[in-house]
Amino acid sequence: MTFHEHKLHVIISSLCFTSDCPVNFEFQNYTIITSQCKGPHYSQNACCTAFKEFACPFADELNDVSNDCASTMFSYINLNGRYPPGLFASFCREGKEGLACPASAPLADDTNANAGQKLENLSALLIILAAGFMLFHIF
């Protein structure tokens, strides 16, 4: 088995054991990204700022490797924005811990808080971005 066949096998195997994403990314509002991250000369600052604004509320779901949220989200981002493969993976890097999302302000009534909207640290998002980058270059 060649190196590329092994990578493909690992990626496909890991995808087979994921559950559906609890967030419905099909009906999310991608305007924050598509209005600020425009080609053909993509601004790294504008694209990453918009990406973080969109993705940070879903940090918990995106960092959960047991679901397919990250790949689903990137599919819809690329579908809505027609971005080049790996654009966000190559642009949006802040360190070895991944992208840092601002901490959310304390909520007055936590019972009404949408768990998908909490702003958390995106420590694994860099790994997810790299996986998305690899997926688009393999296929």
User: What tens-digit pLDDT sequence spans the chain (139 residues)?
Assistant: 545 554 554 555 555 567 899 999 999 999 999 999 999 999 999 999 999 999 999 999 998 999 999 999 999 999 999 999 889 988 898 877 778 888 754 444 443 344 443 333 344 555 566 556 555 555 5
Whether 92 is covered by a domain: the verdict is: yes
Measure the CA dihedral 65/119/87/66, to 10°: 10
What's the pLDDT at 66? 93
**Structural contact between residues 87 and 25, judged by C-beta atoms closer than 8 angstroms:** no
Asked if residue 49 is part of any domain, the answer here is yes
94 phi and psi angles, rounded to 5 deg: -125, -10
The domain tally of the chain equals 1
Query: pTM to 2 decimals?
Result: 0.63
Identify the domain containing residue 36 by its residue range.
3-102+115-138
Q: Given the structure tokens 């304390």, which residue do they identify?
A: 106
The confidence score (pLDDT) of residue 45 equals 96
Q: Which residues pair with 99 in a beta bridge?
A: 122
Asked if residue 109 belongs to a domain, the reply is no
